[in-house]
Chains A and B, each alone.
Chain A
Amino acid sequence: MALSGMRGLSVFISDVRNCQNKDQERLRVDKELGNIRTRFKNEKGLSPYEKKKYVWKMLYIFMLGYDVDFGHMEAVSLISAPKYPEKQVGYIVTSCLLNENHDFLRLAINTVRNDIIGRNETFQCLALTMVGNIGGRDFAESLAPDVQKLLISSSCRPLVRKKAALCLLRLFRKNPDVVNVDGWVDRMAQLLDERDLGVLTSSMSLLVALVSNNHEAYWSCLPKCVKTLERLARNQDIPQEYTYYGIPSPWLQVKTMRALQYFPTIEDPNTRRSLFEVLQRILMGTDVVKNVNKNNASHAVLFEALALVMHLDAEKEMMSQCVALLGKFIAVREPNIRYLGLENMTRMLLVTDVQDIIKRHQAQIITSLKDPDISIRRRALDLLYGMCDITNAKDIVEELLQYLSTAEFAMREELSLKAAILAEKFAPDLSWYVDVILQLIDKAGDFVSDDIWFRVVQFVTNNEDLQPYAAAKAREYLDKPAIHETMVKVSAYLLGEFGHLLARRPGCSPKELFSIIHEKLPTVLSSTIPILLSTYAKILMHTQPPDPELQNQIWGIFNKYESCIDAEIQQRAVEYHALSRKGASLMDILAEMPKFPERQSALIKKAEDTEVDTAEQSAIKLRAQQQMSSALVVTDQRPANGTPSGIQLSLVKVPSMSINEDQNMAEQGLSHENGILSKVDPQTPSADLLGDLLGPLAIEGPPGTDVQSQQNIVSGLENVPNTVEAAAIVPVEEQTNSVQIGIKAEWRAHQGRVVLFLGNKNTSPLVSVHAIILPPSHLKIELSLVPDTIPPRAQVQCPLEVVNLRPSRDVAVLDFSYKFGNNMVNAKLRLPAVLNKFLHPISVSGDEFFPQWRSLSGPPLKLQEVVRGVRPMPLLDMANLFNSFRLMVSPGLDPNPNNLVASTTYYSESTRPMLCLIRIETDPADRTQLRMTVASGDPTLTFELKEFIKEQLVSIPTALRSPMAATPAPPIPQPTSPAAALTDPGAMLAGLL
């Protein structure tokens, strides 16, 4: 039946085709695989024909989606067959089944090389094609010069040279360091003079790769490209075979115009003029024709011409012409053209001065947002997002909100993020902004990320005029029957802070506010309860004079949660309960949150980040990014929103008013359990102590305490690894609480800036103060001078510069001593300059992760260990723990739900940023053990990171392996929440040695 006469193959294919279901198919395939395997075993009896037949069967099976893990050798061996049919099969099947890292491929290098340098043209073509498809480093090293020679050889026919061009392209892209293209400028220019359109088509692709790498070197190719384009556009010397529906190779035209877009400008006036003539012809001369193929082909050329015109910053007249064309396109019936019209209009936005013309099409674009085709709706959404500014923000955002109710799930998250960003960037007034966000939460709560509602809280806190309005709005939403969890959070938060501003309105008495919020409590997740508890505490504080009934009710709730299993809830309940019994001092502690420092919106950053595409470097993309950032600067300067300041602090984080308490609670626990009785405050933790600890914080806290709300933020959204953190003051010292040491640290890539605050709480000076840093060898730490004396009730700041040289888990120690009375007091504190401070969480997609993971194969770069004695915790907690260590967990990357995959970047002075990949396989039946695999490009880093993670999971006290640990160190107590372990600088400091 088959012309090529492989009867067995045809029979097999029709057998598979006749299978009724997948099971039958699998049976048939398995049978065949068994058959092929046996035949291959005694290879001697196989004729070349049979081999060929079996290899094709393997390819067919592979295409059906079955694993073919044998027979690769046979496929590769066919490459060395003397006859064309076998050789051809060998080459084609090898390039389908194998990849460049396959060992068998290396075995074939010699044969391939012989084919390439041999005299047989058809063999040359086969070999060049395979190397062009899957050639790796070995091929580049041994073949690149031969391929280059073929490409420029005058004795070689076009059919070989066109393949050589693309073969070289691959070798160059994969290993630019191996392939020597110095002096290729002239060769490239020569190639562009080629008459044969096949050679020209592949040479143009090669040029794009070379130019995108280094456009300056290839200036001389620019006029040649223009010439080629002219030749095509004027249909000069184009063989009939290369015209497609009367259009001279539309693909080569497109490719040539693409190559031209990699040159930043065209300086030579003559070249520029000729190019614009051609472009003008294309813009004006492309008519809509009946024949679909002809129409598509001519429009392919037209759209590429549009892109080139945009790139070249043509005169305004030509630009308006382009917009006019696009305006026509977005209104046509043909969906492809409509899609491309919208897509190109979005690109057009990057060109200055045309926004206003584009805005005229707003109504049409909004119609496209309701198109039955999701592809078109996405384009419309992107375009609306891009064209939005202060003049049309209201209309556009309203449309987006309206569309949100009907949009498919796939688009809702993007839609709500975009609406939130636009509302923030271009809000004509802030109350509108609040309206929009609350509507967003109402309509698509599941798709509104925390960042969005954090941001609203931030704005409301920072703008007093807005507070009553926001509180009233929040109150309104609470009346709705079923509201989203996020709405409960945001309204509880707003009403806790600002509910008292509504006091005189109906339904807004403290009691009423409390009861309507409390109604929601049974329906919310445990992560929301802490927010509600804070709200209750705040309501209580604002109820003046106190309402005993309300008080009892709320105390009852606190009381109930004091034994809650969730540590956060329990802690808040205990603390609020104790605090709220303190009467007037409650007012100070629970006062309104201070204003947030102005900062760039995390949302906008997030959006920017997602726009950074990792694909190929292209001039257009690069330009887009540059323009994007300058656009942001403009909005930054707008005073109305009070948007970003120069300093980019970390993520927007909702103020948690219990953070101070958290810190101190942890401290108490630590000092208590550390067992260094001679040095530790002998008081037992009590509500009183809490008051004492909070007291000094409020009164004489170092400036560092102002930023406490940013503590321990681990952010996956930051562009630059940069975190600011501050620890509360740590009462290091003995009977009289004479010294407080606080710390504030900021980490950026491999560097850190730590400020130590040394506070004297006494009425007499502290003398003979010494502070020395004992840095481990992997850190360079410079401590500025510490004064010998600290005056009474004063505080000194000592900045420290930390530079990370290489990976290590050793800890830097501060040796601090002073004289108190007649006693020399000495304390050693570990500084929070631990390994994970130099990590920066990075999110990787499966496309990036897996190749990397595979390429790091085995020790010492990839280490695996079964860890036992792990603190049992749910996977979600473990993921949170990892995230808190700046190891970014990528949910869903590992198909097994019991596994967890995380990634991060490690920064040190000596190396470039290193990607680290981590995989944890847990055993649902036994949570105390797991298998951990860590991989990175550096053996030490892999080892240290693995050990570091292990320590966190099994809680081996790090002090034990510190170089300073001459004496056995007290174990670090189990922190209340796992995430608090080592990221908590307070805990670090308290770990006295």
Chain B
Amino acid sequence: MSTFKLPSLAFEYGALEPYIDATTMEIHLTKHHNTYVTNVNNVLGGPNGAAIKGLSLEAIQRSVSSLDPAIQTAVRNSGGGHYNHTMFWTTLAGVGSANSAPFGDLKTAIESDFGSVDEMQKLFNTTAATRFGSGWAWLCVGDDGKLFITSTPNQDNPLMTGIADKPGTPILGLDVWEHAYYLKYNAARPAYIAAFWNVVNWDKVVENYSTAKSGGTAVMDVPMQ
């Protein structure tokens, strides 16, 4: 049986310094994300795994609200965690290694839907800062093709129809669980959020936007073993 495998980063742990520290990157991938992979594989290998066997990771997100209660919470948390982190790593890049601002159709859409890139970032920052407890902030494409910003608790994401307040296709997400920033920023989540913009891989986000507009989801490798 094919099971999920922890992906590799496209960069060294230290590549996002000084904005996101190397130790955080290492622990975040090899401990936190790894636990989600282990746990979603446990569901796959367990007695109720048939419901998600053979589904793509993205399809699993959409299926969560209709899953058997016996596995729903586990898939929501660990299947969600695996998706969210896999996508997250692809949207980060060291300074200078990718476009450092939105461009092309995405830039046009941001200006159209938020007024300016600056205003989009302000709204994203507030949304990320006011997500109480653990969760994620997202820039998404809605069913109407427009961009919107939302946040979800714990390891939920906007692909989880029937669960997410505002469902849609995320093209960029930010982890605001404390483990994502605590070692360097302690309680100062807003400082982490501000720093995040320095390491966004806009090449990837532009690609995600294009795919979302044609009905797909964020482009990412989901390694199996």
* A and B are interacting partners: no
